[in-house]
Amino acid sequence: MDILTKYFSGFTEKQMEQFAALGELYKDWNAKINVISRKDIDSLYEKHILHSLSIAAAFDFPAGVEIVDIGTGGGFPGVPLAIFFPEVKFHLVDSIGKKLKIIDDIKEKLTLQNITTQHSRAEDIKGRKFDFAVSRAVAPLKDLWRWSKPLLKTSKVTWQDERGFTALQSGLICLKGGDLKEEVRESGLKPKMMEISEIFSEDYFREKYILYTSLQA
């Protein structure tokens, strides 16, 4: 928990309780289903929760925005983001049903009313549109874009904060690591890339990036 408050302040008491509860909930589930690498479970807050929240450090989503988490697995980045943004709606999608059982249990125990789940491949989702798609290293960028593009609304999201009005085109936000030159080249896209190591100082975040590709890309 300390690693979260090192970088973020202003959590409500409820948010603090929810983040604190994630550790034991994931440990309990990981003993039944290997959702998180055994060697990583003790680093859950750094390698999974804080990593997910790098998106929150880079993007300030306004209330009412709808976000689809493609290939969410055990709920990353969707679950931490849903706690961080309680007024944003998150739809967590995965093709492996047993992983969604974990998310459904966690959302019930933490009363996360802004999460819905769907047992499906992203390309099979019909009749839904979202402001943004998020994903965490589940597939090459070209595939993530092919799956997410049909799910995105065509309008911009506009909101006001202390810096004035902000407008952001709907798009894909994904977390990736390593040398991405070839992957980006093969995608034919020109995503905006942010180095997470410029946000979080831990060694784990070296060569890890947030990629944002908008519908105008």
Which amino acids are annotated as binding site, given as ranges? 71, 76, 122-123, 136
Joined together, the tokens standing for residue 38 give 């055994």
Q: Look at the block and give the residue holding tokens 């690498």.
A: 37
Cβ–Cβ under 8 Å, residues 193 and 178: no
Judge residue 118's burial from the number of C-beta atoms within 10 Å of its C-beta, 0-12 exposed, 13-18 middle, 19 or more buried.
Answer: middle
CA dihedral 37, 42, 43, 45 (to 10 degrees): 110
Joined together, the tokens standing for residue 112 give 């996360």
Which amino acids are annotated as binding site for S-adenosyl-L-methionine, given as ranges? 71, 76, 122-123, 136
Cβ–Cβ under 8 Å, residues 215 and 170: yes
Joined together, the tokens standing for residue 164 give 């004035």
Cβ–Cβ under 8 Å, residues 19 and 49: yes
